[in-house]
Amino acid sequence: MLARLAHLSDNHFNSHPDEINWGDVGTLEHYASLLKNITDNAFKEGEHAV
């Protein structure tokens, strides 16, 4: 899964860098929030802190 995400990131998340719009920004923000939730849970940080 991580390799697939890295590959997608290398490909600018299937967007041309000169054609990024606010919808793309919102999608990436959503992806980032999901990844933060995963890492917070894995490392017991944020709302998952013990």
Please indicate, yes or no, if residue 49 is contained in any of the structural domains: no
Residue 27 is assigned to a structural domain of this protein: yes
CB 5 within 8 A of CB 20: no
- Give the residue numbers spanning the domain of 11: 1-43
The reported pLDDT for the residue numbered 17 is 87
The whole-number pLDDT of residue 20 equals: 93
- Does residue 48 lie in a domain region? no
In a domain, 50, yes or no: no
Show Cβ contacts of residue 28 under 8 Å, excluding neighbours closer than 6 positions. 13
Please say whether the beta carbons of 40 and 47 come within 8 A.
yes
pLDDT single digits (tens) 5-49: 999 999 999 999 899 999 999 999 999 999 999 999 999 999 999
Q: Is 29 helix (H, G, I), strand (E, B) or coil?
A: helix
How many domains are contained in the chain?
Answer: 1
Longest dimension (CA), the chain: 43
User: Domain for residue 30, yes or no?
Assistant: yes
Q: Two tokens at 5?
A: 């995400």
